[in-house]
Amino acid sequence: MTTKSIALVTGANKGIGREIARQLGAMGHMVWLGCRDEERGRKAEAELRAEGHDIRFVQLDIADDESVQAAFSTVEAQSAHLDVLVNNAGIGGGLDTQPSTEAVADVQAMFDVNFFGTVRATQAFLPLVRKSTAGRIVMISSGLGSITLTADMKSPTWTLAAMGYSASKTALNMFTVKLAKELLAEGVKVNAACPGSVATDMGGPMAPRSVEQGAAIAIRLATLGWMGPTGGFYHDGDGPKIEAYGW
């Protein structure tokens, strides 16, 4: 089993997840690349390893119990602990659909991945995180999940709908706080990261932030020192300081 710092990033074959994995790899972590699609995951693994990073693919569909348990067994067999868990996997939609017409099935699909899937994966891998001397859990959330920002007419997200997506991230934020409280005495830090509007498949090509910028706050929260915060919701903007958003 490896003695290096070990990370697992879900939804990591592209976009922000892949960039988080790349940056953690560049910092010396051995990174498990959790991907639902094996072909895409293997391709991302090969490309990141070609850059010199210690990357290992593991098939992981957070919406599927059997997949999560199989992934845990694979990681546990090769890793004595897990220092970083980045829950990045998620799906979006409904930006232009009003709450009165958004299909319940679409809302449920987003909750199944963004909330229930993240809870499932976190609970499965938590025993390995607890074996770390400095466990860090990062939830990739969104400003759309902030009730404070949603209710603010001056917020840049005021005109957006996305009720189902937003609600799934609000639920994720509550999970973040509750888990942070549970793990406080164990030294495991749990925080939510808002990457902003990033040019990915989900954010679209016109989004103003790059994947490097979007990954920055997750990297900071994943590598917090012992005096760092826990149970918070953070966005880094364009500057070096971690900025807290209201819930």
Which of the pair, 235 or 180, is modelled with greater confidence? 180
pLDDT, tens only, 91-101: 988 888 999 99
> What pLDDT, on a 0 to 100 scale, did the predictor assign at position 175?
98
> What pLDDT, on a 0 to 100 scale, did the predictor assign at position 241?
44
The architecture (CATH level 2) of 6-244 comes to 3-Layer(aba) Sandwich (3.40)
> Residues with catalytic annotation?
165
93 vs 117: CA distance, rounded Å: 17
129 vs 115: CA distance, rounded Å: 19
Percent of the chain whose predicted confidence (pLDDT) is above 90 = 72
Q: How many CA atoms lie within 13 A of 155 on its CB side?
A: 19
Contact 222, 191 (CB under 8 A): no
Q: How confident is the model at residue 242 (pLDDT cuts 50, 70, 90)?
A: very low
**Structure tokens given for 171:** 């639920």
pLDDT, tens only, 7-58: 999 999 988 899 999 999 999 999 999 999 999 999 999 999 999 999 999 9
Whether residue 240 has pLDDT greater than 70:
no
Mean pLDDT of the chain: 90
pLDDT, tens only, 173-223: 999 999 999 999 999 999 999 886 555 666 666 665 777 888 889 999 999
Whether residue 79 has pLDDT greater than 90:
yes
pLDDT, tens only, 136-155: 999 999 988 988 888 999 98
